[in-house]
Amino acid sequence: MKYLSKNKNKSIAIIAFACLFSAISCTKLEPKLYSDLTTKNAYSSESDIDAALTGIYASLSPYPGDAYLYYAGYLVMITDYSTDMGFSTAAGDPTKMSNLTYDDNNRYFKFNYQNMYQVISNANSLLSNITDVAIGDAKKKQVIAQARFLRALSYMDLTDAFGPVPLITEVQNPSESYNLPLASVEEIEALVTQDCQYAIDNLPEKWSADLGIGRATKGAALTLLGKMYMRSHKYDKAKPLIDEVLALRSKGVYRLNPDFKNEWSDNNKIDMGLIFGILHEPTLNGGEITNHFGPSDNREVPDRWQYYGVSLQFWRKYSDLDPRKKFFYYDYEGLAPRDKNTTHGFFYMMPKLGQTAPPSDTVKLLQNVATKKYSYDMTNNSYLDGRTIQVFRIADVILCKAEIENALNGPQAALPYINEIRARAGAPEYGINANFPVPASKEAMIDALVDERGFEFVFEYKRRQDLIRLGRYEKVTNEYLQSRGLKPVATPALRYFPYPLDEARQHQEMSSANASRIPN
């Protein structure tokens, strides 16, 4: 890989660099400060291993100055944004993603690809060096299990986005790593299965407080492996894994918050529904998540950019009876004065369907809408905030259960689980409200699940994968594009993104594949 070539022989040093400048979800894992770290002395003690593990976690939300890469923001552009969910007012690559006019030179492909492989590289470095370090056997297994889980998560993300990719499980000589053959998705899933099973066997259900928060757990590994089987429609294999996560809920390890809004409160950083996430602290490793996802010119959450905006077409899919429709910023007066002669701001109005002109010169029509998920109930208004990024949560697992039951046993078996999420949100339940009849077939339940997963997981990095897995990617995306007067270009060939241009230039397989992966 090109980015590995840039790093030369510094793959271990990169881990230390991440540790020096980035605390991560394991807030009890204190990174060691190295003055002369080399590949020869990097792994000589238990504290070195702790620092290296911290570095792997840190690379999920890289912190080179401002945290906005991979799970800190960029991942949304190759998941939710390139569907019916995203609409950009920013020129260039963001608009190309939301319009499906991207090419292989889009920065979101380049940086997500590189950062996913950085996690894998850091994990491989630790796994290749831990054997000879003096650590108790129990802890060693737990460290290995965490590294393997994080590697599996990144390979899952890579294959979701790009399909076949190079399979790297050892530290590579950079001069020999730029043109590795592509491994099939099935080959990579075999590694993900092995890594997740090791994590399931060796990680605790939850960590004791003295060992930190935010670490991968057995439940996280079960969820990841279950979702991998669901991706390939192996619902019979996914079922026992998802059931085991739900059994952990029954034991009290997880709990569905009765108020969906409180899952996102800054006063509730570690909700009981969180299975795996990335935790930030403003003074240590604060990210830009609120800046990117927060509203523009808003009194409640000032100085934000609304860089990642939800399309009005998607927002209008919510029922007016669904309280989640109100969990966005709209119909508000802005903070900035309209001009030098007034202290009042513009009123930002949600336009009615078909409305193109504001009713007065003091009103601006919204072009997209900002979610409240990453700015709700803020306790710190700093530029680098302390928001939690939720990767897996129990609501996702409950809807996975609904999908599995529908596939194996039909819509009636799925009904209690989809209704549990709707009831928690205060939305009308299927079969309870006359306007929401029970879906009568498996296909009808799939349509209901497509909607429900969108409503519940807006901008949680899931929409594109959900649409593809449930067989609705082309239909939903093309309907959205046509509603905006754009060409309906979504085809099965676009279910994988083009490989980044820098990589494809050095890799014949990637270059050949890209011709069909770029929208026409």
Helix (H) or strand (E) holding 371: strand 368-371
pLDDT value at position 11? 34
> Is the separation of the CB atoms in 412 and 317 below 8 Å?
no
- Location of structure tokens 């800190």: 72
Residue 253's SS3 state is coil
Q: Which of 333, 384, 352, 316 is nearest to 67 (CA)?
A: 384
- Structure-token pair, residue 296: 């523009």
Q: Give residue limits of the domains in the chain.
A: 46-202+459-515, 288-368
CATH number of this structure's domain 46-202+459-515, picked from the four choices 1.10.40.30, 3.30.420.40, 1.10.10.410, 1.25.40.390: 1.25.40.390
Largest Cα–Cα distance of the chain, in whole Å? 72
Q: Where are the alpha helices (DSSP H) in 131-173?
A: 137-162
Point out the residues of the chain with pLDDT beneath 70.
1-41, 64-65, 174-177
Helix (H) or strand (E) holding 347: strand 347-349
Those residues with Cβ within 8 angstroms of residue 480's Cβ, 6 or more apart along the chain or in another chain? 83, 84, 311, 313, 314
pLDDT value at position 269? 85
pLDDT value at position 96? 97
The contacts found for 322-326 with CB under 8 angstroms, 24 or more apart, are 322/422, 322/425, 322/426, 322/427, 322/428, 322/455, 323/260, 323/425, 323/426, 323/427, 324/260, 324/425, 324/427, 324/455, 324/456
* Interior angle at CA 170, CA 168 and CA 171, nearest 5: 105
Global pTM reads 0.92
Beta bridge partners, 274, equal 393
d(CA 433, CA 436): 5
Q: Which of 44, 79, 58, 46 is nearest to 14 (CA)?
A: 58
Percent of the chain whose predicted confidence (pLDDT) is above 70: 91
Q: Which of 431, 50, 82, 154 is nearest to 167 (CA)?
A: 154
d(CA 337, CA 339): 5
d(CA 51, CA 16): 7
pLDDT value at position 40? 55
> Is the separation of the CB atoms in 387 and 280 below 8 Å?
yes
